[in-house]
Structure 1
Amino acid sequence: MNLALSSLLVLTAGDDVAVARGDIAKGQELFADGLRVTALTDIPSGHKIALRAVSPGQPVRKYGQVIGQATGALHPGDYVHVHNLEMPASSASLSLANVYQPTVYQADEARFEGYVRADGRVGTRNYIAVIASVNCSATACKQIAAAFDSGRLRDYPNVDGVVAITHGSGCGMGAKGDGIEILKRTLRGYADHANFAGVLVIGLGCEVNQLAPLMEQLGDRPAVLKASLVIQEAGGTRETVQRGISLVEAMLAPVNSQQRSSVSAKHLCVGLQCGGSDGYSGITANPALGAAVDWVVRHGGTAILSETPEIYGAEHLLTARAASTQIAEKLMSRIHWWEGYVRDHDGDMNNNPSPGNKAGGITTILEKSLGAVAKAGATGLMAVYQYAETVEQKGLVFMDTPGYDPVSATGQVAGGANLICFTTGRGSTYGCKPTPSLKIATNTRLFQRMSLDMDFNAGGIVDGEESVVEAGARLFQLMLATASGRHTCSEENGLGDNEFLPWQIGAVM
């Protein structure tokens, strides 16, 4: 990748397009990849300019990969975007090459300050959860959590807060099938999460998603730190809220008694997200996060890549790194499931790039996916998980999720992610309780414009101030500091109470 300071960024020698480092004016002379071109129109920062002539219907390459096909003749200096570039007719493919290499682990062990739980897992935060089994108990959960404001928690400095985990489902759905199984997995994953030191689960009583089976499946905790209430058995909403407040009050002292201690970075489990992507995402923030992920993996930790529709067209880069044929085939089976799912609902895999993505310079899902996969770094793909499955394998793994960030991150947290790293070019402000979410800006202008929402600036890469490797090493240190208790911007802004959003599949009846 040639990031020498110039007006254009050529990501791979021989690419048909380059990326504008800043706004380019019509008539401006530009030099890139040994070529001289004149801009035939104004081109916004982060968008693409043609370096070479491409005939109609022929593939157009960026990152050394096909990102689409020309809908008309492209001439050197043309602005390349949705008006002259489209998704080619294609389907997902399995890479025939395999470049997997076992991870070489670091001799010097990185560490962070975490909460070691009785089962050996490590939390990065110390919350109490009030979880609804069904939408009908959501109000009671919220009222219980609201009773524990900062004033009420003043005497419990090690308690990060009381969080209501509520949703819009749990009844009016089939008692069997993917929909209910996904919801059960997700709720179980949150109730057992290492960042929740105590948990209270509340049901209505007559819902499809019954409370008793959920409680039976939860891991062991001291009795005072695991409780449940059924509204219809407790005598109603007010009685449930009063009893719930008393149960949470009993948890405060034992949760507050837990202390951080120094632990190996192998206990990091990082969910990888990108939202509000732009033309710089695949050049700065995503590769920098990928470099940090390599550090996590080399220290024995785990990174979860997700958002299956947003690896579409780049899946061959992951299957080539799969540790076994079975892992590669499992990933492809999820890709093909999505092709069928979208087709059955009269959709198109290429409708994923949002209006904001396109305004930022991304044209097709192929282009978006190639940039998104950069978050995964360069180590081997060690496992593929269903949505919200418990992640037990160390190293880089994949979890099948939608591309919609809150739904995707909810699955990752249910799987055990104790840190979220979220890259953005347009300015996503996502927060996530109980898991801290680091926001990584793709460009310096965004970092400066939304300085109270962005935790890390990867724009120095495109500004020529640091390399991808240097940014990745700096980001890894921020990840360790955040896992040790440093607040993220979303935590400072009070975000994260409303972002629990399980994937809903199936009929509402």
Structure 2
Amino acid sequence: MLDKAIPPRTLTLNAADNVAVAVDPVDAGVTAAGVTALKRIPRGHKLALSKIATGEPIRKFGQIIGFATVDIPPGEWVHEHNTGFHAFERDYAFCAEAKPEFVLPIEQQATFEGFRREGSGGRPGKAGTRNYVGILTSVNCSASAARFMAEEVKRSGLLADYPNVDGVIALTHGTGCGIDYNGESFEVLKRTTWGYACNPNMAAVLVVGLGCEGFQIKRMKDAYGVEESDVFRTLTIQETGGTKKAVAAGIEALKVMLPIANRAVRETVPASELMLALQCGGSDGYSGITANPALGKAVDLLVEHGGTAILSETPEIYGAEHLLTRRAATREVGEKLVGIIKWWEDYTARARMDMNNNPSPGNKAGGLTTILEKSLGAAAKGGTKTLAAVYHYAEQVKSKGFVYMDTPGYDPVSATGQVAGGANILAFTTGRGSAYGCKPTPSVKLATNTPMYLKQTDDMDINCGDVLDGVTLEEKGKEIFDYLLRIASGEHSKSEEMGYGDAEFVPWQIGATM
């Protein structure tokens, strides 16, 4: 009886909104947010605050998230049965909200215990949060050989002699041949492979090929001026004399690399050496209210401490890009982002798809209705700082501060591009309970709501659902920032404890498979 006496909680996120979000389920006939629910409103879903006539915009976050497909009376459940999507003009207002960034002096910046990397052989000098030896492949045909090498090292117990090495990981993929080796497919795979090879979380790398594939290792080495060394080696199965001989040669190369990798020790480095990849997956109606804006507060802190944060997933900022162009450091930066949006509109049209296809069944069950609504919540991960630069997929990120990288919304493909760009730590928000890891980069999982956090405590690192109970976004952002520093210093995230991350290397395949 006491529970029935307590009215369900709702949130109206902006004075201009004509819907409220049900924090708790609202039963039919119950009054909430000043209206009486006409039917049951599930938690995380939307309740109409006033009449919305057919064709009129539906507003949440003070922004358009869709258009009424029928007359929607006050108290009605607002979801895909009465909400539609169509494109509309947005005011990009380039640079209108850009401002000079405040960055703390180096002596006042937070620190973490990381691995200093000396630049050599074309590899840039950076700081890592992990110390892996990686086996990369140029083509799917060499994937098994790479796995055989990693499995043999693990089975042999060799790693016991190298306590400073986090592991030997085989990161394999399903492409590398049947592609236009003079076109975009080759260029993207080249950038991705080299980006992983020089990610600061990699102490040393062996690249394994078949030999006759479209993606030729030599072309990649020539493009980046890479030379063979004790921390960067290559081989092909055909040149070595077959799979068994290639595996044996690979293991011998790893035996040379491991003692060198083991020499690395953690030392105190400033937080300005952190490059944080931002991801959200299995989003729900709380994502844009709790975990994403809380992560945005952590991003603002990181930028103030001189670090870098990468927002991505272009299909999931579609409809919110006008909020980012306002923050662009220059008009050129803003227009580059708009150009990428237009490329995606054409890309999906050619594939006979629609940008609004993005919200998944799980997203919709969690309360999200259109890509516009999903994007507005997703963009909140990027905080409030000036957008310093925009990068294409897997390009090396060289700017400090808040930046954008074009990637698909599919999390493994998106994160692969960010890690190739240099990300040495990753934060991943989820409302439905996405399970994900990202070797060689540690992944921190942020739950958007308490029930899911309690149900999947083995997967989730931080509960952001308590924002709905009174914890401020600033407090939660500080908690996230401090936790990221601990993970960067060597504490394992939940996904690392369970061993996630070997299967999540998924380079973006653009174009036809021939």
TM-score by length of 1: 0.96
Written as runs of structure 1 = structure 2, the 5 A alignment for 1:154-303 is 154-217=160-223, 223-303=229-309
Higher deviation after alignment, 245-254 or 379-388: 245-254
Higher deviation after alignment, 236-245 or 152-161: 152-161
Aligned to 2:115: 115
CA contact (8 A) 1:92 1:335 kept: no
Q: Report the CA distance between 1:102 and its aligned residue.
A: 1.2
Tell me, yes or no, if structure 1 residue 138 matches structure 2 residue 143: yes
Higher deviation after alignment, 469-478 or 205-214: 205-214
Which residue of 73, 78, 82 maps to 1:75?
73
Aligned to 1:451: 457
* Counterpart Cα distance in 2 of 1:163 and 1:39: 53
CA contact (8 A) 1:192 1:219 kept: no
Deviations 1:331-377 (A, max 9, x none): 00000000111111111111110000000000001100000000000
Aligned to 2:58: 60
Q: Report the CA distance between 1:218 and its aligned residue.
A: 5.2
Which residue of 404, 409, 413 maps to 1:403?
409
What residue identity is the alignment partner of 1:502? P
CA contact (8 A) 1:10 1:17 kept: yes
Which residue of 118, 127, 134 maps to 1:129?
134
CA contact (8 A) 1:148 1:161 kept: no
* Counterpart Cα distance in 2 of 1:253 and 1:217: 29
What residue identity is the alignment partner of 2:422? G
Q: Report the CA distance between 1:90 and its aligned residue.
A: 2.3
* Counterpart Cα distance in 1 of 2:24 and 2:83: 21
Written as runs of structure 1 = structure 2, the 5 A alignment for 1:485-500 is 485-500=490-505
Q: Report the CA distance between 1:149 and its aligned residue.
A: 1.8
* Counterpart Cα distance in 1 of 2:130 and 2:95: 41
CA contact (8 A) 1:188 1:217 kept: no
Which residue of 373, 376, 382 maps to 2:382?
376
CA contact (8 A) 2:52 2:68 kept: yes
Deviations 1:297-351 (A, max 9, x none): 0111000000011111110000000000000000000000001111111111111
Which residue of 10, 13, 16 maps to 1:14?
16
Aligned to 2:430: 424
Deviations 1:202-230 (A, max 9, x none): 11111111112223455778822111111
CA contact (8 A) 1:175 1:208 kept: yes
Q: Report the CA distance between 1:235 and its aligned residue.
A: 0.8
- 2:179 is paired with a residue of what secondary structure? coil
CA contact (8 A) 2:95 2:334 kept: no
What residue identity is the alignment partner of 1:374? A
Aligned CA RMSD, in angstroms, stands at 1.4
* Counterpart Cα distance in 2 of 1:159 and 1:60: 53
- 2:153 is paired with a residue of what secondary structure? coil
Judged with a 3 Å threshold, the aligned counterparts in structure 2 of structure 1 residues 96 and 164 are, in CA distance, closer, same or farther, namely: closer
Q: Report the CA distance between 1:65 and its aligned residue.
A: 0.6
CA contact (8 A) 1:272 1:303 kept: yes
Structure 2, gaps ≥5 residues long = 1-6, 120-124
What residue identity is the alignment partner of 2:39? T
* Counterpart Cα distance in 2 of 1:267 and 1:170: 32
* Counterpart Cα distance in 2 of 1:93 and 1:434: 40
* Counterpart Cα distance in 1 of 2:223 and 2:142: 20
* Counterpart Cα distance in 2 of 1:161 and 1:137: 20
* Counterpart Cα distance in 1 of 2:132 and 2:94: 46
Deviations 1:433-462 (A, max 9, x none): 100011100001111100000011100101
CA contact (8 A) 2:276 2:423 kept: yes
Which residue of 476, 489, 492 maps to 2:481?
476
CA contact (8 A) 2:8 2:24 kept: no
What residue identity is the alignment partner of 2:376? L
Q: Percent identity?
A: 55
What residue identity is the alignment partner of 2:63? Q
Judged with a 3 Å threshold, the aligned counterparts in structure 2 of structure 1 residues 140 and 92 are, in CA distance, closer, same or farther, namely: farther
CA contact (8 A) 1:148 1:162 kept: yes
Q: Report the CA distance between 1:243 and its aligned residue.
A: 1.0
Aligned to 1:95: 93
* Counterpart Cα distance in 2 of 1:10 and 1:397: 30
CA contact (8 A) 2:18 2:59 kept: yes
Which residue of 84, 87, 102 maps to 1:86?
84
- 1:460 is paired with a residue of what secondary structure? helix
TM-score by length of 2: 0.95
| Corresponding pairs, count | 500
CA contact (8 A) 2:316 2:358 kept: yes
Higher deviation after alignment, 18-27 or 277-286: 18-27
* Counterpart Cα distance in 2 of 1:216 and 1:129: 21
CA contact (8 A) 1:321 1:379 kept: yes
Tell me, yes or no, if structure 1 residue 362 matches structure 2 residue 368: yes
